[in-house]
Amino acid sequence: MNVKHDLPPITLAANDYNRLMFTAMIRQKHSRRTPDFLLAELRRAEVCHPAELPDDVVSTNCRVIYRIDDEPKSRAHLLVHPDELIWPGAEISATTPLGTALLGLRVGDRMSFVEVDGQIHEVFVEGIGLRFLDDGPMVTRTPGSITWA
């Protein structure tokens, strides 16, 4: 019996989308191991302004509480861009199969993913913890100039 599971909708902030799309395209160009899963997820994502990202959506720089398969205990990690991965025990890169599966899901969503070794798993998002916002520099534009605050 072949059962087709619909993919849950995903929402990404424009800054996550742009940065991860750039990373995926660079990796695809310079490596045999193409980030097909990441690219597919980015292509199907609904993209919004960072300020409009719902509080219950997984993004980079947020702590996500989740379970894999039917594990009895929850896990919690900070989802980060691969360039910002400094503590692998507490962080997950958004470019790993698990990180990509979590990206853009809402609390209560489930998503299947395939590990590098070929094992198929399902992740279930239980909650969102702290979200660290990257406000970046503020830009003020006046005719003929740009001011950084």
Residue at 115 is within a domain: yes
Tell me how many domains the chain contains. 1
Average pLDDT, the chain: 84
Burial class (CB in 10 A: 0-12, 13-18, 19+), 131: middle
Please report, in angstroms and rounded to a whole number, the separation of the first and last CA atoms in the chain: 60
- 75-80, strands of its sheet edge to edge: 91-93, 75-80, 62-68, 120-131, 110-114
Residue at 142 is within a domain: no
Instruction: Answer whether residue 137 shows pLDDT above 70.
Output: no
Region 23-52: what's the mean pLDDT? 86
Q: What is the pLDDT of residues 84-128, one digit of tens each?
A: 989 888 999 999 999 999 999 999 999 999 998 899 999 999 999
Instruction: Answer whether residue 131 shows pLDDT above 90.
Output: no
Residue range of the domain that includes 110: 11-132
Residue at 107 is within a domain: yes
Residue at 114 is within a domain: yes
Report the pLDDT value the prediction gives residue 3, as an integer from 0 to 100.
40
Number of neighbouring beta carbons within 10 Å of residue 128: 21
